[in-house]
């Protein structure tokens, strides 16, 4: 790879890191070409971008954006690395989990995840990352909580109104 090609890759990666506030660093070392293709298709179907790059180029791209912000990710840049970029913080974890189930295996391994400024390192975090609530899920919960008291008040008022109506109705 020429210096010019390396610089191109770094620029592409910088664009992706700037575009997405969530990315996963995975180890795809023991996967076959067919399995990598299947993983790429699964990512594409769920609107997750998958990029494979050399660790040194990934590190240079991260350092050129904000060396301090991404410092927790650097130790995970070893072996064969695939990056999964997504707007949804939990989608890559869901893809990795279901992909593993289909293979009955432990690969691809989660090396690190960068979620909205927080770094999660190690494969042991994968299960908890599948349970992260998305922005829309949180908004839905808040709306549900806000609607609940209003519904109770309306139900109580209607019930009270019905009781009054029954009390004023003449007996037959």
Closest C-alpha among 109, 133, 135 to residue 122: 109
> Residue 30 in 3-state DSSP?
coil
Separation in Å, CA 99 to CA 10, 19, 24, 72, 85:
28, 25, 15, 26, 16
Task: Label residues 75-100 b or e (16+ Cβ within 10 Å = b).
Answer: ebbeeebbbbbbebbbbbbbbbeebb
What does the DSSP 8-state code read for residue 20?
A: -
Instruction: Report yes or no: 86 and 25 within 8 Å, Cβ to Cβ.
Output: no
pTM over cut 0.85: no
The pLDDT value recorded for residue 159 is 77
The pLDDT value recorded for residue 117 is 86
Residues of the chain whose pLDDT is less than 70? 134, 161, 164-165, 167-172
Q: Please report how the helices 33-45 and 91-103 are oriented relative to each other, as an axis angle in degrees rounded to 10.
A: 140
The pLDDT value recorded for residue 140 is 79
Distance CA 153, CA 122 (A): 48
Instruction: Report yes or no: 66 and 60 within 8 Å, Cβ to Cβ.
Output: no
């Amino acid at each position: 790879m020429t210096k010019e090609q390396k610089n191109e890759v770094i620029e592409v990666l910088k664009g992706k890191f700037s575009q997405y506030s969530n990315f996963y660093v995975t180890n795809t070392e023991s996967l076959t070409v067919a399995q990598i293709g299947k993983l790429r298709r699964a990512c594409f179907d769920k609107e997750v971008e998958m990029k494979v790059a050399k660790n040194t180029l990934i590190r240079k791209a991260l350092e050129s954006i904000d060396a301090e912000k991404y410092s927790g990710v650097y130790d995970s840049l070893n072996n064969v690395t695939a990056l999964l970029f997504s707007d949804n913080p939990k989608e890559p974890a869901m893809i990795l989990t279901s992909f593993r189930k289909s293979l009955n295996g432990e690969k691809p391994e989660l090396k690190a995840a960068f979620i909205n400024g927080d770094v999660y390192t190690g494969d042991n975090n994968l299960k908890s990352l599948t349970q992260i609530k998305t922005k829309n899920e949180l908004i839905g919960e808040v709306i549900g909580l806000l609607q609940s008291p209003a519904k109770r008040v309306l139900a109580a008022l209607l019930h009270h109104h019905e009781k009054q109506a029954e009390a004023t109705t003449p007996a037959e």
